[in-house]
A and B are shown apart, each in its own frame.
Chain A
């Protein structure tokens, strides 16, 4: 067993264990932290696959943006200092069942992909070139500029919507407010 294999097994184990703890952890803040560990494990797996860009993007988007946002939401909405509420509902077995079915389906699907059968697939020759191509394709008129711009407009709409929700109600006269 090489060092790489050892690191892969360790990281894979930690990632899976952390993912399991996300759903099993009784406190919401802990669940968010386990989620961060699981996402970081995925980033390490990307590094092992020599996909440095994907690893850094994984950390930048999932840990930097999404996980921090989740913790902010928990901090702002839940009473974080109070413990003892359980996160497990009565329908936990339905969730477990659907997770198992999804996993099985993915396993069968991936088994049909020919490259999985090869023991050590050769690394892609010029990964940087591919990355540059990906960047260009997002702003290329013939390729993905329309989906890219549509996604941008959707984000803009979400931004404006959140501002509208947070906008103070100035039309209401004094004393009419319910608080």
Chain B
């Protein structure tokens, strides 16, 4: 009983192992089969979780917009997504004329694969994770590329101009927002001294990285929302401009896979933010009782996920030029400066403990204040230009402002 509390997952693994051994299977095959089973359970688990996530998101968005949301199917409408899923499964799969069949069918699979693949390295609790690879952060970055690829494939192969336009916007958005995301990911790597997710969580035992590097946490959060392509960055599927963007020609379950991938990705970035900046499963008593760690991890992730939904419910979609300006003129330089500040402070301040944390926090707050001051000055000039368009502008500069 004691072992169940202190190491439930190891105990369960041991149970299965001895069961399979009892059937007379070879040790190599047993570990192979158990790994396969683990991956299967993990993948299926997060996909079923999506059913609940979609319901939660619809309910919260409805409350923000002063509506009731789904409330007919099951208690609190919780089975609404199941009904929607059944509808999606029974719908006809329509393939557009002239579609490029290989990439067309591959795209939704890749979309789901890239998101589920991310869960392989996220430590849910002590000793409960898919794989402890020492380059976890790099893995997260490289798997994210596959979701970019899936959207591009969907756009190219659909034989539809709206879909292709949606894919073009992917180029502008997902590829460029990967730059500040990677830069922000280097900061926890630097602080923990490792790229492994397990070590990054372990290093946050005394203090969360959110306190040490709030700027990096904010940049990571914003740029990962842009990577997922959610409001306010949902230019990939802007309904008013592109009908439905890259997935316009997908119907039935193929569309459902894109849908599931997007919702699950939003939850996954919450889990990643929790792991990298909010201490993952760390909490009082979590090291002794792993199930408690799983509980803490769930609570923190749910909180971050609520913020993601809150952002979606509050902000309007930004224009494509604003999206590019935000990235290249604000977030990327800020990420670079924040990385340099963290590296310099980490090298200069040799004392551990409170002094190190204080200097880091102070430097970050100073950086934030400077950024806000610069933004204020910039918005003043913009406002002045709008009020009095001809003042202080040369002829050519005015031309370049008023349109290409």
Tell which of A59-67, A87-95, A99-107 binds the partner: A59-67
Interface pair B138/A170, CB less than 8 Å apart: no
Residue among B28, B103, B142 making CB contact with A59, cutoff 8 Å:
B142
Please indicate the chain A residues that have their CB under 8 angstroms from the CB of B149 in the complex. Answer: 36, 63, 67-68, 71
Residue among B28, B29, B152 making CB contact with A68, cutoff 8 Å:
B152
Residue among A2, A65, A75 making CB contact with B168, cutoff 8 Å:
A75
Chain A nearest Cβ from B274, distance in angstroms:
22
Chain B nearest Cβ from A14, distance in angstroms:
15
Q: Which residues from 106 to 153 on chain B have a C-beta closer than 8 Å to any C-beta of chain A?
A: 106, 133-135, 138-139, 141-146, 148-149, 152-153
Please indicate the chain B residues that have their CB under 8 angstroms from the CB of A144 in the complex. Answer: none
Please indicate the chain B residues that have their CB under 8 angstroms from the CB of A53 in the complex. Answer: 134-135, 138
Interface pair B141/A60, CB less than 8 Å apart: yes
Interface pair B135/A29, CB less than 8 Å apart: no
Q: Does B396 reach chain A (CB closer than 8 Å)? A: yes
Please indicate the chain A residues that have their CB under 8 angstroms from the CB of B155 in the complex. Answer: 75
Interface pair B142/A72, CB less than 8 Å apart: no
Please indicate the chain B residues that have their CB under 8 angstroms from the CB of A114 in the complex. Answer: none
Interface pair B171/A170, CB less than 8 Å apart: no
Chain B nearest Cβ from A161, distance in angstroms:
17
Interface pair A80/B133, CB less than 8 Å apart: no
Please indicate the chain A residues that have their CB under 8 angstroms from the CB of B102 in the complex. Answer: 30, 33
Please indicate the chain B residues that have their CB under 8 angstroms from the CB of A60 in the complex. Answer: 138, 141-142, 145
Per DSSP, are chain B's interface residues mostly helix, strand or loop, or mixed?
A: helix
Interface pair B103/A29, CB less than 8 Å apart: yes
A83 to B147, CA, bound (A): 25
Interface pair A81/B164, CB less than 8 Å apart: yes
Interface pair B159/A81, CB less than 8 Å apart: yes
Q: Which residues from 82 to 103 on chain B have a C-beta closer than 8 Å to any C-beta of chain A?
A: 98, 100, 102-103
Residue among A68, A76, A170 making CB contact with B145, cutoff 8 Å:
A68
Assuming the A-B contacts A29-B103, A33-B103, A170-B396, are A56 and B142 also in contact, with contact meaning beta carbons closer than 8 angstroms in the complex? yes
- Total number of B residues with any Cβ neighbor in A under 8 Å: 37
Q: Does A168 reach chain B (CB closer than 8 Å)? A: yes
Assuming the A-B contacts A29-B100, A53-B135, are A80 and B164 also in contact, with contact meaning beta carbons closer than 8 angstroms in the complex? yes
Interface pair A63/B142, CB less than 8 Å apart: yes
Chain A nearest Cβ from B268, distance in angstroms:
17
Please indicate the chain B residues that have their CB under 8 angstroms from the CB of A65 in the complex. Answer: 145
Closest A residue to B159 using CB positions: A81
Interface pair B138/A68, CB less than 8 Å apart: no
Q: Does A133 reach chain B (CB closer than 8 Å)? A: no
A27 to B156, CA, bound (A): 12
Assuming the A-B contacts A29-B100, A168-B400, are A56 and B28 also in contact, with contact meaning beta carbons closer than 8 angstroms in the complex? no
Interface pair B103/A168, CB less than 8 Å apart: no
Task: Supply 10 further A-B pairs (C-beta < 8 A) apart from A33-B153, A64-B144, A75-B156.
Answer: A3-B32, A29-B156, A33-B103, A57-B135, A60-B138, A60-B141, A64-B178, A75-B167, A80-B156, A128-B134
Closest 8 CB pairs of A and B: A64-B145, A60-B142, A59-B142, A56-B135, A56-B138, A170-B396, A64-B142, A72-B171
- 24 A-B pairs whose Cβ atoms sit less than 8 Å apart in the complex: A3-B29, A29-B100, A29-B156, A30-B100, A30-B102, A30-B103, A33-B153, A53-B134, A56-B133, A56-B139, A57-B138, A59-B143, A59-B145, A63-B146, A68-B148, A71-B149, A72-B152, A72-B171, A72-B175, A75-B164, A75-B171, A76-B171, A80-B156, A170-B400
